[in-house]
Structure 1
Amino acid sequence: MPAYHSTFNELPDTRQVGNLAVLPFRTRIRGPAPIGDPSQYDIIDETLDLFRANSLFRNFEIKGPADRTLIILILYVSDCLAKLGSQRATPSQIEAGKLLNTLSVDNFAIPGDATFPLNAHYAAPASRADSEYLRGYLTQARQELAARLAEKLYADGTGKPSKWWMSFQKRRFMNRSLGS
């Protein structure tokens, strides 16, 4: 069974930085990302929908620039779950939101950096301005993803994270981690 790929691979006129797609998404967080239609499915929704299925795969064939964006976001979700799972006491929804927001704005490697774990599959940004734009875009995407993940984890109202999500905290998509 093949892995699930992004539905945004075939979008025309998608901006690319390096070979990573810069896709619009709906957000309340300020940043350089294009603003998406509030009623439309976006890359953040797709990441959360495909995370659990794709995290079971060791191999992933990249079929377009949106798949590269999806890979980075899936690896980030994996790091978020590992961060929550490493806490001594089970964090409440508010504490989890704070932890994940802190993780999202921490310094991280982007394609082209020496410490980025998937440099073989990504092209470096063409200029310093593109590099800064990509870092801003990914920071904004990580913040929005952290906020939506916290909502999903605590959606049942028990005050504890969903065991169906937390069971994936030790799984590594493509046997990789962003190292956050």
Structure 2
Amino acid sequence: MATRTILEGDNPRLRKISRPVGAINKRIIDLLDDMAQTMYEARGVGLAAPQVGVLRRVVVIDVGDGLVELINPEIIKTEGTQREEEGCLSLPEDNGYVIRPAKVVVRALDRNGDTQEYTGEGLLARAFAHEIDHLDGVLFTDKMVERITDDDHDGEQDEHETEL
């Protein structure tokens, strides 16, 4: 495993649409492992392959319930809405409120090539939506309904603020 560099700011690769994974091979398995290590070291809860410069539809997420690896993920169902604060490992200076589904069902391949369905509510639903947006070149700031400034915080991370 290796820690990869997280692309930040206006890097054009963050705006590109990722290609589907055709075959799950050693390169994809290594990518999953590297992305998990990178996410944990950066203290994030999610990371998409474009954030480390790889334009493939691969995501890792861990909101505290264990690592979820998604290959070629697609959102197949959403319910409700939530308005919560988000941040992003690729946009470390930005925080803001985003309206996302309250519940999300995702279908994806796992590292063994088996199709899995995952249901997420709350933070996990936000993480699914946020990371899958990255695969389509969409950043959370594109959907932000209210920017949070330094004046809005006392310098400590809010309990709802999450670096996705």
**Structure with more of its chain in helix, by fraction:** 1
**Structure with more of its chain in strand, by fraction:** 2
TM-score above 0.5, yes or no: no
TM-score normalised per structure 1: 0.27
TM-score normalised per structure 2: 0.29
Please identify the structure whose Cα radius of gyration is greater. 1
